[in-house]
Every structure is written in structure tokens, then in C-alpha cells.
Structure 1
Amino acid sequence: MLTGCLRVQVSMGVSSNDRVSGRIVAAAVPQNDKDKGPQLKAPDALASKVRVDPYSQDGYVGSQVYFDDLTFGEVQQLGGLSDQTQGMFNLQFNRVGDLVTLTGRVDLKSLPPQGSDVQLTVAFPARIATTNGTRESDSEVSWKLPAGDVTSLHAEVGYADPNTRSFAGWAGIVGGLTLAVAAVVAVLAYMTRNPDPPAYVRAARWIRNSRNTHV
């Protein structure tokens, strides 16, 4: 059985002074010695705050991105890590008084259902009231997103003093999730460019095409 052929891991933290730091990994199992896996590139405007290094661990190769002390506006620019875009993440934020609600829909149907590891972890600047993710602490939540499926995200966070800075914090979270999209898209682009994809990719495409034929 094929396991762990794709790896996308995104972790980030939003600090109380509205700065964001974190790390992203986008990697795959190489098919030959020249295969470098998914490649990400730091946006020119963020060259001094974002570093992209080669990733090689546990049989995976690809890219790992480190970003530090980004403003919320700069976090949104991290979507430029990949030249391609996909509407894979659909997020909505609503505030009623001191309660901020995050709802989202993550569509990973394009990834092979087997052999993919996609994880997202977000540390919020306040205690999480409710969520459908896994609580890592009072203010940190993670989601293990199943490939080949659609996942709904939900979190409610209370802010004692809702103001412009609090809302900007959520803008930073939106930017961070855009970064997750860039990492996933980089993996998909890598798979598409490969002239001879591995068996698990061919099987996933065959299954998807078969479903479309019978719709």
C-alpha cells in the first residue's frame, strides 16, 4: 500500500502585536535522482522576510518556507509563493459583538485520496471558544485535511476588546490560509508537469475521470 507520497504542512502564529511567523512544507516522494519535488519561490516584495530552502526529510523532497515578523498585509502576499491559483479554500468571517466566527470549506478533491498528508495549524491571538478542529491548546487549533474530499472548517474566538487591530488579526489568518493554498497548488502543479506520473497519481486521475463519465 502506498503511504505518505505527498506532504503539505502549514503552521503559523499570530502574535499580540499583529505580526505573523511560521513555516510551510510542500514535498513529495521523488521519482528519480533529479526530481526536486514541488518548488516554491519567495515573492520579491518579501525577500527580506521570507526564506525558501530545499526540503529533504523522511524520503520526501520539495520546499520549506520560513517567514518571520510579517504584517497582516504582507501575509496576504504569500500567495505569490506559487504562480498558479486555485479556488480550493473558501473562508468567511463574521463578527457579532465580541464573538468572531470563522467558517470555511476546503476542497482537496484534486489530490490523490491515498498517500497524502495535508495539515494546517493556526495559533490565534485569543482563546478559541468552539471549533471542529483538534485543540492543541486554548488558542491553537489544527486540522488534518483529507485528500480527495471536501472539509468544513469552523472556529469561534472571543475578543474582549473588538477593535481594528483585532479584525486585522483575522485578516492575517486569511492571508495565512492563502499560503496553505499556495503550498497545495505547488504540489498539484508539480504533479501536472511530470510527464510520467507515479501509479497513485494515474489511479487517482482514472477514478476521477470515471466518476465524471458516469455523472
Structure 2
Amino acid sequence: MQPSSPSLRRRVVIAAGLLLFVVPFLTGCLRVQASMGISSDDRVSGQIVAATIPADENDAGPQLTVPSSLAGKVRVQEYTQDGYVGSQVFFSDLTFGDVQQLSTLSDQSAGMFQLNLQRAGDLVGLTGRVDLESAPEQGTDVQFTIAFPARVATTNGTRESDSIVTWKLPAGEVSTLRAEVRYSDPNTRGFAGWAGIVAGVTLAVALLIAALAWLNRNPAPPRRSAQAGDNP
């Protein structure tokens, strides 16, 4: 039995609508670029771009919002470049704990992006997980770059220099990020400076006590009067 003409037209319209939805994801429309730097006092600054090629003139691309917990440290603005539209995020003076909250910039990306920075003594470790299994394999551009304040000891990323590592994350896969670097704990540095001052004062007091003890170790006998032993 042949479908009626209205039914056929309806199916064609539905198929066309689905095609318009899928085509942007098949033609390389996804761009996610994140870069950040860590200072020697364990503060993190950087930016994130999340954009797609718009499906129509009303498509503004991914819209990221700042969680209230990061207000004052994160700023979001519109991104328009190379035919892509979306959001650009700037952040500064984040703590390691704040960095974990960057994944909450978008409800849609919850669970797709996880990043963790931890310190154990002088060792700082970065671990991350990025789930791009649902991303289009053709044309997806997802990159993450991080600059450390010291030479990177180990990593599974690409070394751009002694202290900079980049990961280019493939679509259709779940990727892990890993890097370790050693530099002194800023809290320990402050304590070491104070400890040095205390040690210096203690040493000065000890030297003073030692000097007084040395001066008094053999007290000089009382001087006899020049007339004491003479006869009249």
C-alpha cells in the first residue's frame, strides 16, 4: 500500500528536520579549547572556549553560566570566530578546589569533563577525564593546555616545553589526563621563612648567653692594695 501524499510530505519534513539537527555535528562543528596556568603560589588562571557552527541564525551555540560559588573569579562573554558561536570563559585566582567546579559551567556537560589538582607535599598532580563518546568524530577539535611553574616530571600528554603540556582529545572516546610536577608548597615556604627568623633569633640569644658564660668562666681575683703588704 503506497503512503498518501500528505503522509509522505510529513515524513520528508521530519527527516529534513532531523538532518538539520545532525548535520552540524557531522561536519566538524564542535570546538572546545581550554588553557590554564598555575602560579608558584597554587593559583590557577586561564580561559575556556566552547563553540559550534550555528544551525541557523538564531543558534547562539553553547551557553555557559558562572556558578555562584565562583562569582568574582569567572567571567563569561559571547564567542564569535571563524564561523563558530558560543561562549568564552575567563578565570583567575582560582584555588585547586575551585578548578573542580569549572565542570558545572554547563548542565549539559555534567559528567563529561572532570579535572582535579591535588598537592601532596612538594608534589602537585593533575588528573582528568573527558568523555567525548557522543561527540562527532569528523571535525571535532578539543584541546587542553596547562602551564606549570616548574618542569613537568611525568605526563601522558604532549610536552610543548619543560613546563607546558597539551592534550588533543579524540572524539568518540573517553580520554584521561595525567601530569605531575614538583615545586615547593607555598604554605611551607612561608613557614620556612618564619622558622628561619625564629632560628636566627634563637641563635643570637644562644650566642649572647655563651659569650656571657665565657667572660665569666674564670673571674679575675680581686686586686691587692699596693700598700697592703708593706711594713711601716
The verdict on a shared fold, with TM-score over 0.5 as the criterion, is yes
Residue equivalent to 1:133 = 157
> Which of 48, 51, 55 lines up with 1:24 in the alignment?
48
> Which of 89, 113, 116 lines up with 1:65 in the alignment?
89
Residue 52 of structure 1 and its aligned partner are, at CA, apart by 0.7
> Which of 142, 146, 151 lines up with 1:122 in the alignment?
146
Residue 21 of structure 1 and its aligned partner are, at CA, apart by 1.0
Evaluate the alpha carbon distance shift between residue 126 and residue 91 of structure 1 in structure 2; reply closer, same or farther with a 3 A threshold.
Answer: same
Residue 126 of structure 1 and its aligned partner are, at CA, apart by 2.1
Q: Which amino acid aligns with 1:126?
A: A
Evaluate the alpha carbon distance shift between residue 5 and residue 84 of structure 1 in structure 2; reply closer, same or farther with a 3 A threshold.
Answer: closer
More strand by share: 1
Q: How far apart in 2 are the matches of 1:94 and 1:41?
A: 25
Q: How far apart in 2 are the matches of 1:68 and 1:101?
A: 20
Q: Please say if residues 99 and 117 of structure 2, whose CA atoms lie closer than 8 Å, have aligned partners that are also in contact.
A: no
Residue equivalent to 2:169 = 145
Aligned residues: 165
**Which stretches in structure 2 are left out of the alignment for 5+ residues?**
1-22, 190-232
Evaluate the alpha carbon distance shift between residue 92 and residue 77 of structure 1 in structure 2; reply closer, same or farther with a 3 A threshold.
Answer: closer
Residue 138 of structure 1 and its aligned partner are, at CA, apart by 1.2
Q: What is the TM-score with the length of structure 1 in the denominator?
A: 0.64
Evaluate the alpha carbon distance shift between residue 28 and residue 165 of structure 1 in structure 2; reply closer, same or farther with a 3 A threshold.
Answer: farther
Evaluate the alpha carbon distance shift between residue 4 and residue 84 of structure 1 in structure 2; reply closer, same or farther with a 3 A threshold.
Answer: closer
Which structure ranks higher in relative contact order (CA pairs < 8 Å, sequence separation ≥ 6)?
Answer: 1
Evaluate the alpha carbon distance shift between residue 77 and residue 100 of structure 1 in structure 2; reply closer, same or farther with a 3 A threshold.
Answer: closer
Q: How far apart in 1 are the matches of 2:119 and 2:104?
A: 28
Evaluate the alpha carbon distance shift between residue 80 and residue 90 of structure 1 in structure 2; reply closer, same or farther with a 3 A threshold.
Answer: closer
Residue 18 of structure 1 and its aligned partner are, at CA, apart by 2.2
Greater Rg by CA: 2
Evaluate the alpha carbon distance shift between residue 35 and residue 105 of structure 1 in structure 2; reply closer, same or farther with a 3 A threshold.
Answer: closer
> Which of 131, 144, 153 lines up with 1:107 in the alignment?
131
Tell me whether 1:35 sits opposite 2:59 in the alignment: yes
SS in 2 for 1:130: strand
Tell me whether 1:5 sits opposite 2:29 in the alignment: yes
Evaluate the alpha carbon distance shift between residue 3 and residue 129 of structure 1 in structure 2; reply closer, same or farther with a 3 A threshold.
Answer: farther
**Which stretches in structure 1 are left out of the alignment for 5+ residues?**
167-215
Evaluate the alpha carbon distance shift between residue 57 and residue 165 of structure 1 in structure 2; reply closer, same or farther with a 3 A threshold.
Answer: farther
Q: Which runs of 4+ in 1 moved over 4 A?
A: 89-105, 162-166
Query: What is the aligned-residue identity percentage?
Result: 68
Q: How far apart in 2 are the matches of 1:55 and 1:30?
A: 12
Q: Please say if residues 103 and 114 of structure 2, whose CA atoms lie closer than 8 Å, have aligned partners that are also in contact.
A: no
Q: Please say if residues 18 and 165 of structure 1, whose CA atoms lie closer than 8 Å, have aligned partners that are also in contact.
A: no
Q: CA RMSD in A?
A: 3.0
Tell me whether 1:87 sits opposite 2:98 in the alignment: no
Q: Please say if residues 41 and 52 of structure 1, whose CA atoms lie closer than 8 Å, have aligned partners that are also in contact.
A: yes
Structure 1 segment 153-164 matched on structure 2, within 5 A: 153-159=177-183, 161=184
